[in-house]
Each structure stands twice: as structure tokens, then as C-alpha cells.
Structure 1
């Protein structure tokens, strides 16, 4: 039995999460760090959407008089994904505003440089 074929979206989401996590850890540029964070968010949304979908079932709208829950997809993962996207966009916008303020103050987006300048300012 081919498990990768049946769990294709879950495998892709794990790979995407790893790419985003490594980007978050290895990059010094703050913008690149937030891109990695957004890749990780997208991986989680893909995973939730993949887990929420069941082949052969339909959206939870009563049709044809079928009231048995077995025939419908669980709407909770889709709701979680939509809520997560809204929160993610808000956090990204706020974070980019903070990054812009950091750039205006320090003149760089390199995390090591910002820490070095911050320590020098503290020592004065």
C-alpha cells in the first residue's frame, strides 16, 4: 500500500513546515524570517484542510433529506483555517509595521546588526 499517495497533502505540509522553520532559524534578515513564519502558517492550514476533507463526502448543507452526519464533512477544520488566516494576516501586518520601525531606528534589517547596535546604545 502506498501511504505517501494517500497522505500526499500531509507530507507536503510537513515539508513546507520544515522549510519555513529552517528559514526562520537560519535567516538574519527580519523580512525573510517573517516569510518563513508565513510558510509555516500555510503548512498548518494545508494540514488542517487535508485532515478535514473526507473523500466522497459533501459540505454540511442538508440536501436530499439526508440528516446522517456520516455523509458530511466536518466543518470545524475549515473554520479553524479561516480563523487562522485572519489572525496570520493581522500578525504579519503588525510585525511588518514593527520591522519598519526597527529599520527607521537602526538602519538595517539584519538581526545581528540590530542586536550589536542595541548593545552599543545600552552601553552609552
Structure 2
């Protein structure tokens, strides 16, 4: 089970980095989302994967899971959803003003247009 989770984190990180290095804004947004998913799975896995154990210690229970990573992941999901919405709106505004979604950082293209 640990190998499967570690592989999922590695694949999500690799896909996220690949997409962040693209020259279009939409794949960059997807890459940032994939990286945030990888961080969420990593945070969730830090609480040790335990099956059929309660999150709170109660009467007669000898073992329990740590609820803190679950709370951190839920908070991170909400924050990443909000940030993704903001970044999508920024990218949409940039696309509507420039009529392209290319991420150009060179000055040669700007000098050629003028």
C-alpha cells in the first residue's frame, strides 16, 4: 500500500512539473493543480495509512488514526480550489486582453511586434 501511495505522489509530481514547464497558461494551471494534489496526498500519507480505526480515542479503543493530517488536507483542498479559481480568472483576463494564452518571457517577440 505504501508503494502505491508513494508511486502516486511521484507520478502526480512528475506530471505537475511537466505541465508547469509548458508555454501555455492552461497547462501551467493544470500543473499547479497536480502539484497541489501531490502535496495533499503526501500530507494525508503522513498520518499513517490505517484501515478501520477511529479518528478519536474513545472507550475500549486501543489504536486510532491521527486526525490532524485529515484536517490539513481538507484545509489545503479548500485553499487550492480558491487559488485555482483566482489563477484561472487571471489567465482568462490575460487571454482576453492579449488574444493568446502563450507564456512568452522574451523581449524579442515584443520588439518584433512593435
Q: TM range, normalised to the smaller chain?
A: 0.7 to 0.9
The C-alpha deviation readout for 1:9-62, integer Å capped at 9, x for no partner, is: 02211221111112101x111011100111111111112222323335613234
> TM-score, with normalisation over the residues of structure 1?
0.76
In structure 1, C-alpha distance between the alignment counterparts of 2:95 and 2:106, rounded to whole Å:
13
Per-residue deviation, 1:90: 0.6
Aligned partners of 2:56 and 2:67 also within 8 Å: no
Partner of 1:45 in structure 2? 40
Moved >6 Å (runs of 4+):
none
In structure 2, C-alpha distance between the alignment counterparts of 1:96 and 1:117, rounded to whole Å:
27
Partner of 2:24 in structure 1? 29
Specify which of 77, 93, 107 is matched with residue 101 of structure 1. 93
Partner of 2:73 in structure 1? 81
Which 5+ residue runs of structure 2 have no aligned equivalent? none
Aligned CA distance change for structure 1 residues 105 and 75 (closer, same or farther; 3 Å): same
How many positions carry a matched residue from both structures? Answer: 113
Are residue 66 (structure 1) and residue 23 (structure 2) matched? no
> TM-score, with normalisation over the residues of structure 2?
0.82
When Rg is computed on C-alpha atoms for both structures, the one with the higher figure is 1
In structure 1, C-alpha distance between the alignment counterparts of 2:89 and 2:64, rounded to whole Å:
42
